A and B are shown apart, each in its own frame.
Chain A
Amino acid sequence: MPPILRLIVQRISLALVVLIGVSMLIFAIARVIPGDPARIALGPNATVEQVEILRETLHLNDPIYVQYGYFVRDISQGDLGVSLYTNRPVTIDIAQFLPATLELVIVAGIMMICIGLPLGMISARYKGQFIDNLLRVVSLLGVSAPSFVWAVILMLLFAYFLPIFPVAGRIEDIYVIKAVTGFLLIDTLIDGNIDAFFNASWHIFLPAFALALSGIGQAARLTRANMIETYNKPYIEMMRAYGVSQFRIASRYAFKPSLIPSLTIIGLDFAAMLGNAFLVEAVFAWPGLSRYGVAVILRKDLNAIVGTVLVISLTFVLVNIIVDLLIAFLNPRIRYSQRPK
């Protein structure tokens, strides 16, 4: 088996173990929190008999391992149960809310890479000079305030005082877009509706930027530190001694080795944004999965909690696999150290 394929198989089997662990944990925790889900779902006016019937249909009177057995049986058929909060299958709820969050997080991730990495490179190149100090202050600001603070500040500045960007939502109501992927930026393009595409981009810019800011600062600081370390390596002096241009060294020969450690953190940041997205989604009234997740937790909606957490874990794990593969792609020492068992 080629080394890269072995790496993929290895990472995916590890991911499965993680997901099974997470499912058990969240399954147990959701049931340990005080409060009767059936009572909360039916409200204070329901009779004891009605609550008992709902408890029976939800298998809540069985021991927890039997309940988990039912859960595994259902999930193997692609069924996450029915949400007590929306009265719809959890899978349908997730399919509706997940794309909005993913779109937000992916755009924020792209911002993090496209802004954070170059800032770090420029800082390292002009180390100790004015531009470096300026960029370091900026990135420190990004890291030190949580994203919902940025969300409020950005909204005040660029949607209220200077009304450049819209305050809330994913797109203006006048546009009717057929949902194909659920990602508005893609669906509008599939529709060929350029106006709607720009409108959706306009809406996503501020929330994504607020979400990305701490990641941008993190990525810039890390890239700066790694680049400075790499610049002191003999192989960079060798390239300079052979007259390879500063730009080529910065963009290629020093960049690639420096990118490897940055990428691990960027991957983690990216996955962490899934959780952070909630507050930003709340500020910008973004109809995403994080908002849904909090709503169902408050309602003790067991099926929806487990479903939401599992989907977020799955995304987390997938992002980590992708980062691992990217690092293996960038770093031949990792690629070639996968020994056959």
Chain B
Amino acid sequence: MSDSILDIQNLSLSFQGLTETVDVLDNINLSINRGERVALVGASGSGKSVIARIILGLLQSQKGAIVKGSVRFRGIELEAATGNQIESLRGREISMIFQDPTSSMNPVYKIGTIFHEILNRGTHNISKKLALIKASKLLEEVSITEFKRVLESYPFQLSGGMNQRVMIALALANKPALLIADEPGTALDVTVQAQTLKLMHNLVKKNNTAVLFISHNLGVVRQFADRVYVIYKGRIVESGSTSSIFENTKHPYTKALMNAVPKITSKSFFDASDDSSLFKQPAFHHKDREIGQ
């Protein structure tokens, strides 16, 4: 499909240990279309974040990592096994937002310097002066009005929410076609998280940026995503449009995930079964109309 931004086919990942091989991802198929917001939902350790790192080619150099399968970006094969083809796209066509914005920015460099470095990826040999002007505009887009002070600050001098806005501005600085958001703002409190997510939502909509949104927070996913993949222990167990996943939940694991969301009105803890044998049921893929067609 010409409209496809990212197409992952039969991706698997295992780690070669000293005595045994540990399978982390098993036959993952996932696709994202232009401007589409796709969520990848699952528990900690289910393999969400490693998918993001494979797409960016950050994991392949790790000792003992064995990656198989194909990752195509705009129809171009990225050679997922080595990750070599991906380097030139990083920071230009694909960018990423990290979980904890404050620790994801170098503490001994000013925000302005970090902007200069990232903008240099999009426009080679950009001058510091021009980079700062561009950065100011980008910061204004994420509702930072005192951009001058922010650019002169070090990350540890700003609040978590402020850093998250900076992170979003950095991620969108070079107008990428795909944004990977790895549990954005999980380290922030809920109100700040909601504000920054809304900001991110509006910006990617405006720029028509495709998003791979990695999260364990179903409430946020429902508001943010067009389509959802549910991952359990390295396998996709259910996929479909957000509405069909939430309104017509099929797989037992997805149901358990939904039940686990604490409700403000409920006084007791959720009543979820611990019977994980149910979760091994075959995957269910909802037959939805493709979004954007």
CA–CA, A257 and B100, complex, Å: 19
Contacts of A236 in B (CB 8 A): 106
Which residues 237-279 in A have Cβ within 8 Å of B in the complex?
A: 237-244, 248, 253, 256-257, 260
Interchain CB contact (< 8 A) of A241 among B90, B100, B156, B157: B90
Q: B56–A257 contact, CB under 8 A? A: no
Of A1-9, A38-46, A208-216, A330-338, the one with at least 4 CB within 8 A of chain B: A330-338
A235-B105 contact given A240-B58, A241-B56, A241-B96, CB 8 Å threshold: yes
Smallest Cβ-Cβ distance to A238: which chain B residue: B104
Q: A243–B89 contact, CB under 8 A? A: yes
Contacts of B98 in A (CB 8 A): 234, 237-238, 241
Q: Does B91 contact A (CB under 8 A)?
A: yes
Encode contact with A along B88-124: 1 for CB under 8 Å, 0 otherwise.
1111100110111001111111000000011001000
CA–CA, A242 and B89, complex, Å: 9
Q: Does A233 contact B (CB under 8 A)?
A: yes
The secondary structure that dominates the B interface is loop
A235-B154 contact given A241-B56, A241-B58, A243-B89, CB 8 Å threshold: no
Which residues 184-242 in A have Cβ within 8 Å of B in the complex?
A: 233-242
Q: B103–A244 contact, CB under 8 A? A: no
Q: Does B287 contact A (CB under 8 A)?
A: no
Q: A244–B121 contact, CB under 8 A? A: yes
Q: B118–A333 contact, CB under 8 A? A: no
Q: Does A34 contact B (CB under 8 A)?
A: no
Q: B104–A243 contact, CB under 8 A? A: no
CA–CA, A244 and B105, complex, Å: 13
Contacts of A241 in B (CB 8 A): 56, 58, 90-91, 95-96, 98
Q: Which of A237, A240, A257 has the most CB of B within 10 A?
A: A240
Contacts of A253 in B (CB 8 A): 106, 109, 117
Contacts of B105 in A (CB 8 A): 235, 238
Q: Does B87 contact A (CB under 8 A)?
A: yes
A43 to chain B, nearest CB (A): 62
Q: Does A128 contact B (CB under 8 A)?
A: yes
CA–CA, A237 and B50, complex, Å: 13
CA–CA, A243 and B106, complex, Å: 15
Q: A242–B106 contact, CB under 8 A? A: no
Q: A336–B157 contact, CB under 8 A? A: yes
A242-B95 contact given A234-B100, A234-B103, A332-B154, CB 8 Å threshold: yes
Q: B103–A233 contact, CB under 8 A? A: yes
Q: Does B63 contact A (CB under 8 A)?
A: yes
A235-B103 contact given A128-B63, A241-B58, A243-B87, CB 8 Å threshold: yes
Q: A243–B88 contact, CB under 8 A? A: yes
Q: B107–A242 contact, CB under 8 A? A: no
B9 to chain A, nearest CB (A): 23
Q: A242–B104 contact, CB under 8 A? A: no
- The tally of residues in B whose CB lies under 8 Å from a CB in A reads 28
Which residues 175-227 in B have Cβ within 8 Å of A in the complex?
A: none
Contacts of B58 in A (CB 8 A): 237, 240-241
Q: B88–A235 contact, CB under 8 A? A: no
B228 to chain A, nearest CB (A): 24
Contacts of B90 in A (CB 8 A): 240-243
Contacts of B156 in A (CB 8 A): 332-333
Smallest Cβ-Cβ distance to A248: which chain B residue: B117
CA–CA, A257 and B91, complex, Å: 22
CA–CA, A331 and B107, complex, Å: 8
Interchain CB contact (< 8 A) of B108 among A239, A242, A244, A257: A257
Contacts of B88 in A (CB 8 A): 243
A239-B106 contact given A128-B63, A244-B91, CB 8 Å threshold: yes
Contacts of B103 in A (CB 8 A): 233-235
Q: A256–B108 contact, CB under 8 A? A: yes
Interchain CB contact (< 8 A) of B107 among A240, A248, A257: A257
CA–CA, A235 and B56, complex, Å: 15
CA–CA, A235 and B108, complex, Å: 11
A253 to chain B, nearest CB (A): 6
Contacts of B154 in A (CB 8 A): 332-333, 336
Contacts of A257 in B (CB 8 A): 106-108
Contacts of A233 in B (CB 8 A): 103
Interface residues of B (CB under 8 A from A): 56, 58, 63, 87-92, 95-96, 98-100, 103-109, 117-118, 121, 154, 156-157, 170
Interface residues of A (CB under 8 A from B): 128, 233-244, 248, 253, 256-257, 260, 330-333, 336
A-B contact pairs, 6 of them (CB 8 A): A235-B105, A236-B106, A240-B90, A242-B95, A242-B96, A332-B154
- Besides A239-B117, A243-B88, 5 more A-B contacts (Cβ < 8 Å) are A238-B104, A242-B90, A256-B108, A257-B106, A260-B108
